[in-house]
Structure 1
Amino acid sequence: MESKKTRNTEKQNLVRNILSKTEHTMSAEDIIHAMPIKVNKTTIYRILDRFAEKGEVHFITGKNGKAYYALCDNCGVSHKIHNHIHFECQECKEVTCQPNTLHIPNLEGFTIQETQFLVIGICNKCKK
């Protein structure tokens, strides 16, 4: 019988592998549908939360209120402060990380704990 740690590691590796093979962000439901084994939604959310705490993934909240996750690539010093734009297509509903970086200002008297930049429109694939 496998230990719980081994099974969790296998599931974590599967989630990491799924996220690494996509060009856009994925919701927990998208990840569940892409899993080659049956995994419940709670387990997926726990894995994603663990990854976010470690700085392995970041997420953006889409227009529909869902969280969309992507593997991190140089997220910066503070994992919750992302200085890039996410684009959500109104047609295909894909949310993608964009290479554009933004300057996050210091706000006197305020402490910024998290940033999310979402731009909504029509992607180049759907324009055609």
Structure 2
Amino acid sequence: MAKQRLTALDIRAVITSCKKLVVGSVVTNIYNISNKIYVLKCSKKDEKYFLLVEVEKRIHITEWKREKNVMPSAFTMKLRKHLRSRKITNITQLGGDRVVDIQFGYDDNACHLVIEFYVDKIK
């Protein structure tokens, strides 16, 4: 059975749902589960959210109770350096594509994490 991939419509629905929860929250940490799965720990007031991003496959809010790597990858350390303690100001889908833009901060100080959900090979 072939694995299902998120369609552009699926991504639109997920982003709409995530936007309500995580926009306005602050990234308190970033973890990598594998070289393609990352979790952004976000907090807003007394609430915590875990935004799971699996490159090429999925993005969603989760109740993260998984084992994390003891030593973060170099890419995770780079993400932490630039995104930790930054406020998520917007999450958008770029056009009708399967691309998501997570914006941190505003104007000249804004950072963007752009995630593509394209598949290079169909099996």
Do both proteins adopt the same fold according to a TM-score greater than 0.5, normalized to the shorter chain? no
Structure having the larger proportion of residues in strand:
2
TM-score (norm 1): 0.27
Largest Rg, 1 or 2: 1
Structure having the larger proportion of residues in helix:
1
TM-score (norm 2): 0.28
